[in-house]
């Protein structure tokens, strides 16, 4: 079945149109032009602010003029990630979508349902002549996935709305009223390469097949981090063999749990049989350790052309030690909100080659003081081995407001419509609401959306029936927006 035949057709057709446009973070020129042309084609007031956010405004439908103005908000960019064996050019190709039962997914790449379904829903409302709604101000932000630049540099003077509906939550039974803030930690270290010893044999060791996922929403699920697993192999191996390390390349995106990593090491030819047995045994041990979570974990090794250069023994130990020591995963659970990860860190990217060792990690927390604590812990680990450390991209969390008027309304409507209690939650992801709240301190905000699974990974998928549930609920909410004071 074609995605364009799914219901609601307007939403899915807009999603298909959107996914035909390459839209990586920090390269949003084409999708910004797409959004501007869309708004103008409808004869709606459309503009771009100085940073590149797209704003579209639509008047209230007849009889809704006295209701509060609603800001509908989603981000235009998406995470671009693919499987290592998938041939795909994100800069020139549109996403190849597949309908699989009750789910839509992509062919070996991320799908862009995060946050494309939200964008498509807003487009469907803007293009409709039948949907009942109050005055609408659309806020299509840029660069959410790699720094939230659009939200940080939004121009508040373009908006008068008093209620903001963020359509970027990934469970259809949740109403999100809080989120984590975050900070990036980037490190660098230069080393002098030395020659690989004579009588050596070189191997490429690879870790692949991990689930990966969103380093906020999925950090508590115990999934393997490819950087950490490859480092464990090298760390234990170097205690048994005189291993010489030539390279390490793991992860891809700052906000995704690393699914793959590979490294090149050399050993004495005399240790060949013992080393290969060690790798095989270690692979089996790690597969057993993760058997209930990572069914596709695959650890492979192969002999390659003998490397010429490598790290010194001293630099090898420095780097293996810091990669082992640096925190990764849940740092602290919230003492106030049940089952909420308060603070975490994800070692997202490791690159070691040609005399340069760099890492990227992302620390998140809904409490600024513990965000600082985990960020300092990571900083101290790397500075202790002599790395230069730069921390930037700091953005605030969104403090929950359980007395929110829009929360009370939407929770009541959810109970009446679906005959169950919604889950009123804060999430560990970085929603733009935290930043937008600093620009619009009097705006009542809430976030919701359909079921999206494995965001930020090539396994990303969105549930068709859940999109229908979300859509129906969104339209009902627009009808019930309260009157102006």
Q: Catalytic site residues?
A: 77, 144
Strand 174-178 with 452-453, pairing: unpaired
Q: Do the beta carbons of residue 255 and residue 351 sit within 8 Å?
A: no
């Amino acid at each position: 079945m074609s995605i364009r035949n799914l219901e609601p057709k307007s939403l899915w057709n807009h999603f298909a149109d959107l996914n035909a446009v390459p839209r990586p973070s920090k390269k949003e020129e084409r999708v910004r032009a797409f959004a501007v042309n869309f708004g103008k084609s409808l004869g709606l007031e459309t503009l771009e602010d100085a940073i590149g956010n797209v704003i579209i405004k639509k008047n209230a439908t007849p009889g809704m003029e006295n209701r509060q103005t609603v800001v509908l908000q989603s981000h235009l960019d998406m995470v671009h990630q693919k499987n290592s064996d998938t041939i795909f050019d994100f800069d020139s190709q549109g996403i190849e979508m597949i309908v699989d039962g009750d789910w839509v997914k992509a062919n070996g790449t991320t799908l862009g349902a995060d946050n494309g379904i939200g964008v498509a829903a807003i487009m469907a409302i803007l293009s409709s002549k039948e949907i009942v709604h109050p005055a609408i101000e659309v806020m299509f932000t840029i660069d959410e996935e790699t720094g939230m630049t659009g939200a940080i540099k939004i121009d508040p003077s373009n908006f008068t709305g008093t209620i903001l509906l963020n359509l970027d939550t990934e469970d259809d039974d949740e109403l999100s009223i809080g989120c984590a803030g975050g900070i990036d930690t980037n490190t660098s270290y230069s080393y002098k390469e030395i020659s690989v010893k004579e009588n050596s044999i070189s191997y490429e060791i690879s870790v692949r097949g991990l689930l990966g996922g969103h380093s906020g929403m999925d950090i508590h699920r115990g999934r393997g981090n490819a950087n950490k697993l490859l480092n464990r192999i090298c760390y234990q191996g170097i205690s048994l063999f005189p291993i010489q390390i030539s390279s390490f390349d793991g992860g891809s995106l700052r906000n995704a749990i690393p699914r793959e990593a590979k490294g090149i090491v050399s050993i004495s030819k005399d240790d060949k049989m013992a080393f290969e047995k060690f790798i095989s045994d270690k692979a089996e041990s790690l597969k057993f350790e993760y058997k209930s979570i990572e069914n596709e974990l695959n650890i492979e090794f192969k002999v390659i052309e003998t490397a010429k250069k490598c790290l010194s023994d001293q630099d090898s130990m420095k780097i293996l030690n810091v990669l082992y020591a640096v925190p990764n995963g849940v740092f602290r659970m919230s003492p106030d909100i049940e089952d909420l990860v308060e603070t975490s860190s994800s070692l997202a990217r490791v690159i070691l080659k040609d005399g340069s060792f760099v890492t990227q990690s992302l620390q998140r927390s809904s409490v600024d003081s513990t965000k600082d604590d985990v960020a300092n812990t990571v900083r101290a680990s790397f500075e202790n081995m002599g790395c230069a450390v730069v921390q930037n991209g700091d953005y605030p969390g969104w403090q929950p407001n359980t007395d929110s008027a829009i929360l009370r309304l939407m929770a009541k409507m959810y109970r009446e419509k679906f005959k169950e209690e919604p889950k009123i939650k804060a999430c560990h992801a970085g929603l733009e609401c935290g930043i937008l709240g600093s620009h619009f301190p009097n705006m009542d905000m809430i976030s919701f959306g359909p079921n999206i699974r494995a965001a930020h990974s090539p396994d990303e998928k969105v549930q068709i029936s859940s999109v229908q549930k979300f859509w129906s609920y969104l339209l009902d909410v627009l009808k019930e927006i309260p009157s102006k004071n």
